[in-house]
Amino acid sequence: MPDQHGFPTASDVVKHMNARFAALGLDCRIEHIAVLPYVNPMWMANWDIPQLAGVVDAAILEEELREARWIFPQVLEDYE
C-alpha cells in the first residue's frame, strides 16, 4: 500500500515477491529488502534483495526482480 506521498513501501515489495515465490512453488521467502536512502531521479529501482543471492535459480530470480522493479521502481523504507 502506498504511503501518504504515493510511493509504495518496502513492505509492498516483500509482499509481492513472497506471493510470486509462492505462486512459482518456491520455498524461499524474504523478510526485508535493502532500500537506498534516496529516490533515484532516473527512476531506476532504489532497492535490492541481497538475502536471495544463491538461494533462487538465477534465471528465475532475474525475471522476477525485473518484473518487480517495473512494478515498484521506487520504494520508501517502512518506519514503524
Q: What is the pLDDT of residues 4-14, one digit of tens each?
A: 557 899 999 99
Residue with cell 532504489: 46
Q: Is residue 5 part of a domain?
A: no
Q: Is residue 26 part of a domain?
A: yes
Distance CA 17, CA 65 (A): 8
Helix (H, G, I), strand (E, B) or coil at 80: coil
Per-residue pLDDT for 1 more than 80? no
Cβ atoms of 61 and 52 closer than 8 Å: yes
Better pLDDT: 70 or 58: 70
Domain membership of residue 60 as a residue range: 10-71
Dihedrals phi, psi of 35, to nearest 5 degrees? -115, 130
Q: Is residue 17 part of a domain?
A: yes
Per-residue pLDDT for 74 more than 80? yes
Q: Is residue 15 part of a domain?
A: yes
Tens-digit pLDDT profile for residues 30-64 = 999 989 877 666 667 888 888 887 777 888 888 99
